[in-house]
Structure 1
Amino acid sequence: MAVIKTNEKDVKVLARLMRAEAEGDGQLGMLMVGNVGVNRVKARCLDFKDINTINRMVFQSPGGFEATQKGYFYQRAREKEIRLARKSISGGEHNHPASYALWFFMPEGSCPEQWYGQWNTGRFKSHCFFTPTNADCPSVFETF
Protein backbone atom coordinates (compact mmCIF):
# COMPACT_ATOMS: atom_id res chain seq x y z
CA MET A 1 0.00 0.00 0.00
CA ALA A 2 1.35 3.40 -0.96
CA VAL A 3 1.70 6.17 1.62
CA ILE A 4 1.21 8.79 -1.12
CA LYS A 5 -0.91 8.78 -4.25
CA THR A 6 1.13 7.99 -7.37
CA ASN A 7 0.91 6.68 -10.89
CA GLU A 8 3.47 4.90 -13.07
CA LYS A 9 4.88 8.20 -14.38
CA ASP A 10 5.46 9.38 -10.79
CA VAL A 11 7.28 6.16 -9.94
CA LYS A 12 9.63 6.64 -12.89
CA VAL A 13 10.29 10.31 -12.07
CA LEU A 14 11.14 9.37 -8.47
CA ALA A 15 13.37 6.53 -9.73
CA ARG A 16 15.27 8.97 -11.96
CA LEU A 17 15.67 11.42 -9.07
CA MET A 18 16.94 8.71 -6.73
CA ARG A 19 19.56 7.60 -9.26
CA ALA A 20 20.63 11.12 -10.22
CA GLU A 21 20.98 12.28 -6.61
CA ALA A 22 22.52 9.21 -4.97
CA GLU A 23 23.64 6.46 -7.34
CA GLY A 24 27.15 6.82 -5.92
CA ASP A 25 25.80 6.00 -2.46
CA GLY A 26 24.37 2.65 -3.59
CA GLN A 27 20.88 1.25 -3.19
CA LEU A 28 20.55 2.34 0.44
CA GLY A 29 21.57 5.89 -0.47
CA MET A 30 19.01 5.95 -3.26
CA LEU A 31 16.32 4.64 -0.88
CA MET A 32 17.16 7.49 1.49
CA VAL A 33 16.62 10.02 -1.30
CA GLY A 34 13.30 8.27 -1.93
CA ASN A 35 12.46 8.65 1.78
CA VAL A 36 13.04 12.38 1.55
CA GLY A 37 10.94 12.69 -1.60
CA VAL A 38 8.00 10.79 -0.15
CA ASN A 39 8.28 12.77 3.09
CA ARG A 40 8.08 16.02 1.14
CA VAL A 41 4.86 14.92 -0.56
CA LYS A 42 3.40 13.82 2.82
CA ALA A 43 4.60 16.89 4.71
CA ARG A 44 2.09 19.69 4.02
CA CYS A 45 4.28 21.96 6.14
CA LEU A 46 7.23 24.34 5.96
CA ASP A 47 8.48 24.63 2.35
CA PHE A 48 6.21 21.80 1.20
CA LYS A 49 2.68 23.05 1.98
CA ASP A 50 1.66 22.96 -1.69
CA ILE A 51 3.64 19.89 -2.71
CA ASN A 52 1.13 17.09 -3.20
CA THR A 53 2.57 15.03 -6.06
CA ILE A 54 5.90 13.43 -6.92
CA ASN A 55 6.22 15.64 -9.99
CA ARG A 56 5.65 18.86 -8.02
CA MET A 57 8.12 17.68 -5.39
CA VAL A 58 10.85 16.83 -7.90
CA PHE A 59 10.51 20.07 -9.87
CA GLN A 60 9.74 22.42 -6.97
CA SER A 61 11.28 25.82 -7.56
CA PRO A 62 12.81 27.21 -5.50
CA GLY A 63 13.74 24.38 -3.20
CA GLY A 64 13.84 21.50 -5.65
CA PHE A 65 16.64 19.20 -6.57
CA GLU A 66 19.86 20.19 -8.33
CA ALA A 67 19.80 16.92 -10.27
CA THR A 68 16.89 18.17 -12.41
CA GLN A 69 19.30 20.67 -13.96
CA LYS A 70 21.62 17.92 -15.21
CA GLY A 71 21.22 15.73 -18.28
CA TYR A 72 21.74 12.52 -16.29
CA PHE A 73 18.37 13.01 -14.58
CA TYR A 74 16.57 12.92 -17.94
CA GLN A 75 17.74 9.42 -18.89
CA ARG A 76 15.15 6.66 -18.88
CA ALA A 77 14.40 5.07 -15.49
CA ARG A 78 15.96 1.63 -15.05
CA GLU A 79 14.21 -1.36 -13.47
CA LYS A 80 16.53 -1.40 -10.45
CA GLU A 81 15.68 2.20 -9.54
CA ILE A 82 11.98 1.71 -10.35
CA ARG A 83 11.87 -1.13 -7.78
CA LEU A 84 13.58 1.11 -5.23
CA ALA A 85 11.14 3.95 -5.95
CA ARG A 86 8.20 1.60 -5.38
CA LYS A 87 9.72 0.57 -2.03
CA SER A 88 9.97 4.21 -0.99
CA ILE A 89 6.40 4.96 -2.08
CA SER A 90 5.08 1.91 -0.21
CA GLY A 91 6.40 3.40 3.04
CA GLY A 92 8.16 0.17 3.89
CA GLU A 93 11.58 1.75 3.68
CA HIS A 94 12.35 4.08 6.57
CA ASN A 95 16.10 4.24 6.61
CA HIS A 96 17.88 6.24 9.29
CA PRO A 97 19.05 9.00 9.05
CA ALA A 98 16.52 9.80 6.29
CA SER A 99 13.44 8.25 7.94
CA TYR A 100 11.66 11.56 8.53
CA ALA A 101 14.07 13.91 6.75
CA LEU A 102 12.88 16.63 4.40
CA TRP A 103 16.32 17.78 3.28
CA PHE A 104 19.70 16.40 2.37
CA PHE A 105 22.83 17.71 0.75
CA MET A 106 26.41 16.73 0.03
CA PRO A 107 28.83 18.96 1.94
CA GLU A 108 32.50 19.27 1.14
CA GLY A 109 33.35 18.55 4.78
CA SER A 110 31.45 17.48 7.85
CA CYS A 111 27.69 17.86 8.28
CA PRO A 112 26.56 21.06 9.95
CA GLU A 113 24.44 20.73 13.09
CA GLN A 114 21.60 22.59 11.36
CA TRP A 115 20.72 23.46 7.79
CA TYR A 116 18.07 26.10 7.12
CA GLY A 117 16.97 25.73 10.74
CA GLN A 118 16.48 21.95 10.55
CA TRP A 119 18.44 19.50 12.67
CA ASN A 120 20.99 17.07 11.31
CA THR A 121 19.85 13.49 11.86
CA GLY A 122 23.00 11.96 10.46
CA ARG A 123 25.09 11.19 7.46
CA PHE A 124 25.07 8.30 5.02
CA LYS A 125 28.15 8.18 2.82
CA SER A 126 28.25 11.52 0.99
CA HIS A 127 24.88 12.99 2.13
CA CYS A 128 23.80 14.72 5.33
CA PHE A 129 20.10 14.48 6.27
CA PHE A 130 17.98 17.03 8.10
CA THR A 131 14.65 16.47 9.84
CA PRO A 132 12.09 18.97 11.12
CA THR A 133 10.76 18.80 14.66
CA ASN A 134 7.41 17.17 15.32
CA ALA A 135 6.11 20.59 16.35
CA ASP A 136 7.12 22.13 13.00
CA CYS A 137 5.88 19.30 10.81
CA PRO A 138 3.79 16.61 12.54
CA SER A 139 2.48 15.10 9.27
CA VAL A 140 5.94 13.83 8.33
CA PHE A 141 5.88 11.60 11.41
CA GLU A 142 2.42 10.13 10.76
CA THR A 143 2.15 6.52 9.68
CA PHE A 144 -0.43 5.42 7.17
Structure 2
Amino acid sequence: MAVVAHTDKEIELLARLMRAEAEGEGQLGMLMVGNVGVNRARVKCLDFTNIVSIQDMVFQRPGGFEATVKGYFYQRAREQDKRLARRVLQGERFHPATNTLWFFRPDGDCPAQFFGQWNVGRYKSHCFYAPTQGECPEVY
Protein backbone atom coordinates (compact mmCIF):
# COMPACT_ATOMS: atom_id res chain seq x y z
CA MET A 1 0.00 0.00 0.00
CA ALA A 2 1.29 3.42 -0.91
CA VAL A 3 2.36 5.78 1.88
CA VAL A 4 1.28 8.78 -0.23
CA ALA A 5 -1.67 8.83 -2.62
CA HIS A 6 -0.48 9.45 -6.17
CA THR A 7 -1.39 9.35 -9.83
CA ASP A 8 0.63 7.96 -12.74
CA LYS A 9 1.54 11.55 -13.61
CA GLU A 10 2.92 12.05 -10.10
CA ILE A 11 5.00 8.87 -10.36
CA GLU A 12 6.56 10.43 -13.45
CA LEU A 13 7.09 13.77 -11.67
CA LEU A 14 8.79 12.09 -8.73
CA ALA A 15 10.91 9.96 -11.07
CA ARG A 16 12.04 13.06 -12.98
CA LEU A 17 12.85 14.85 -9.72
CA MET A 18 14.88 11.93 -8.38
CA ARG A 19 16.86 11.67 -11.62
CA ALA A 20 17.45 15.41 -11.95
CA GLU A 21 18.58 15.80 -8.33
CA ALA A 22 20.71 12.67 -7.96
CA GLU A 23 21.39 10.68 -11.11
CA GLY A 24 25.11 11.11 -10.48
CA GLU A 25 24.64 9.46 -7.08
CA GLY A 26 23.35 6.23 -8.63
CA GLN A 27 20.13 4.41 -7.86
CA LEU A 28 20.61 4.54 -4.09
CA GLY A 29 21.16 8.30 -4.20
CA MET A 30 18.05 8.70 -6.31
CA LEU A 31 16.06 6.57 -3.85
CA MET A 32 17.23 8.80 -1.00
CA VAL A 33 16.06 11.92 -2.85
CA GLY A 34 12.76 10.12 -3.32
CA ASN A 35 12.61 9.49 0.44
CA VAL A 36 12.97 13.21 1.11
CA GLY A 37 10.21 14.01 -1.37
CA VAL A 38 7.81 11.39 -0.03
CA ASN A 39 8.55 12.50 3.54
CA ARG A 40 7.65 16.08 2.61
CA ALA A 41 4.37 14.91 1.11
CA ARG A 42 3.54 12.77 4.19
CA VAL A 43 4.03 15.35 6.94
CA LYS A 44 2.14 18.43 8.06
CA CYS A 45 4.92 20.23 9.92
CA LEU A 46 7.55 22.94 9.51
CA ASP A 47 7.71 24.14 5.87
CA PHE A 48 5.42 21.41 4.58
CA THR A 49 2.02 22.10 6.14
CA ASN A 50 0.40 22.98 2.80
CA ILE A 51 1.78 20.08 0.77
CA VAL A 52 -1.12 17.76 -0.08
CA SER A 53 0.22 15.89 -3.11
CA ILE A 54 3.37 14.75 -4.87
CA GLN A 55 2.84 17.54 -7.40
CA ASP A 56 2.67 20.14 -4.60
CA MET A 57 5.88 18.75 -3.13
CA VAL A 58 7.78 18.74 -6.44
CA PHE A 59 6.84 22.33 -7.31
CA GLN A 60 6.79 23.87 -3.80
CA ARG A 61 7.74 27.54 -3.79
CA PRO A 62 9.61 28.83 -1.91
CA GLY A 63 11.75 26.09 -0.50
CA GLY A 64 11.32 23.53 -3.26
CA PHE A 65 13.79 21.60 -5.31
CA GLU A 66 16.35 23.46 -7.42
CA ALA A 67 16.21 20.87 -10.19
CA THR A 68 12.68 21.92 -11.22
CA VAL A 69 14.01 25.16 -12.66
CA LYS A 70 16.59 23.41 -14.85
CA GLY A 71 16.00 21.86 -18.24
CA TYR A 72 17.20 18.39 -17.24
CA PHE A 73 14.15 17.95 -15.00
CA TYR A 74 11.85 18.29 -18.01
CA GLN A 75 13.12 15.20 -19.83
CA ARG A 76 10.68 12.30 -20.10
CA ALA A 77 10.77 9.87 -17.15
CA ARG A 78 12.51 6.59 -17.96
CA GLU A 79 10.93 3.29 -16.94
CA GLN A 80 13.84 2.51 -14.59
CA ASP A 81 13.34 5.86 -12.84
CA LYS A 82 9.60 5.24 -12.46
CA ARG A 83 10.36 1.87 -10.83
CA LEU A 84 12.53 3.68 -8.25
CA ALA A 85 9.79 6.25 -7.64
CA ARG A 86 7.25 3.49 -7.05
CA ARG A 87 9.55 1.91 -4.47
CA VAL A 88 9.69 5.01 -2.28
CA LEU A 89 5.97 5.65 -2.77
CA GLN A 90 5.37 2.14 -1.40
CA GLY A 91 7.30 3.06 1.74
CA GLU A 92 10.87 1.84 1.18
CA ARG A 93 13.31 4.01 3.13
CA PHE A 94 17.06 4.31 2.87
CA HIS A 95 19.48 5.59 5.50
CA PRO A 96 20.48 8.38 6.00
CA ALA A 97 17.39 9.77 4.23
CA THR A 98 14.94 7.69 6.27
CA ASN A 99 13.41 10.58 8.27
CA THR A 100 14.82 13.56 6.43
CA LEU A 101 13.08 16.56 4.94
CA TRP A 102 16.13 18.31 3.46
CA PHE A 103 19.29 17.52 1.58
CA PHE A 104 21.85 19.52 -0.28
CA ARG A 105 25.24 19.24 -1.91
CA PRO A 106 27.85 21.39 -0.18
CA ASP A 107 31.24 22.25 -1.63
CA GLY A 108 32.98 20.58 1.31
CA ASP A 109 31.98 18.95 4.57
CA CYS A 110 28.35 18.73 5.65
CA PRO A 111 27.43 21.61 7.94
CA ALA A 112 26.10 20.44 11.31
CA GLN A 113 22.78 22.20 10.61
CA PHE A 114 20.76 23.23 7.55
CA PHE A 115 17.56 25.29 7.96
CA GLY A 116 17.88 24.64 11.68
CA GLN A 117 17.83 20.86 11.25
CA TRP A 118 20.63 18.51 12.23
CA ASN A 119 22.77 16.55 9.82
CA VAL A 120 22.01 12.83 10.03
CA GLY A 121 24.46 11.62 7.42
CA ARG A 122 25.95 11.91 4.00
CA TYR A 123 25.70 9.78 0.89
CA LYS A 124 28.29 10.60 -1.74
CA SER A 125 27.84 14.34 -2.40
CA HIS A 126 24.54 14.90 -0.59
CA CYS A 127 24.10 15.76 3.09
CA PHE A 128 20.77 14.85 4.72
CA TYR A 129 18.95 16.75 7.49
CA ALA A 130 16.08 15.61 9.71
CA PRO A 131 13.81 17.38 12.18
CA THR A 132 13.55 16.09 15.72
CA GLN A 133 10.69 13.78 16.55
CA GLY A 134 9.15 16.55 18.63
CA GLU A 135 9.17 18.98 15.70
CA CYS A 136 7.73 16.56 13.18
CA PRO A 137 6.51 13.24 14.60
CA GLU A 138 4.86 12.11 11.32
CA VAL A 139 8.23 11.61 9.62
CA TYR A 140 9.19 8.98 12.21
TM-score (normalizing by structure 1): 0.96
Measured against aligned partners, the alpha-carbon deviations of 1:22-45 in whole angstroms (never above 9, x if no partner) come to 000000000000000000001110
Query: How big is each residue's C-alpha offset from its partner over 1:48-105, in whole Å with a ceiling of 9 and x where there is no partner?
Result: 00101011001000000000010000000000100000000000x2111000100000
Q: What residue is the counterpart of 1:127 in the other structure?
A: 126
Unpaired segments ≥5 residues, structure 1: none
Measured after TM superposition, the shift of residue 131 of structure 1 is 0.3
Give the whole-Å Cα distance in 2 for the aligned partners of 1:85 and 1:102: 17
1:63-142 → structure 2 map (5 Å cutoff): 63-91=63-91, 93-141=92-140
TM-score w.r.t. length of structure 2 = 0.99
Identity %: 65
Equivalent residue pairs, number: 140
1: CA distance, partners of 2:52 / 2:105 = 25
Q: Which amino acid aligns with 2:7?
A: N
Distance (whole Å) between structure 2 residues aligned to residue 52 and residue 37 of structure 1: 12
Amino acid at match of 1:108: D
Supply the distance in 2 between the matched residues of 1:112 and 1:122 (Cα, whole angstroms). Answer: 10
SS of residue paired to 1:120: strand
Structure 2 residue 42 is matched with structure 1 residue 42 = yes
CA distance, structure 1, for counterparts of residue 109 and residue 77 of structure 2: 31
In 2, Cα distance between equivalents of 1:6 and 1:43? 15
- Distance in 1 (CA, whole Å) between partners of 2:88 and 2:107 is 27
Secondary structure of residue in 2 paired with 1:104: strand
Which residue number corresponds to residue 15 of structure 2?
15
Q: What residue identity is the alignment partner of 1:123?
A: R
**Amino acid in structure 2 at the alignment position of 1:51:** I
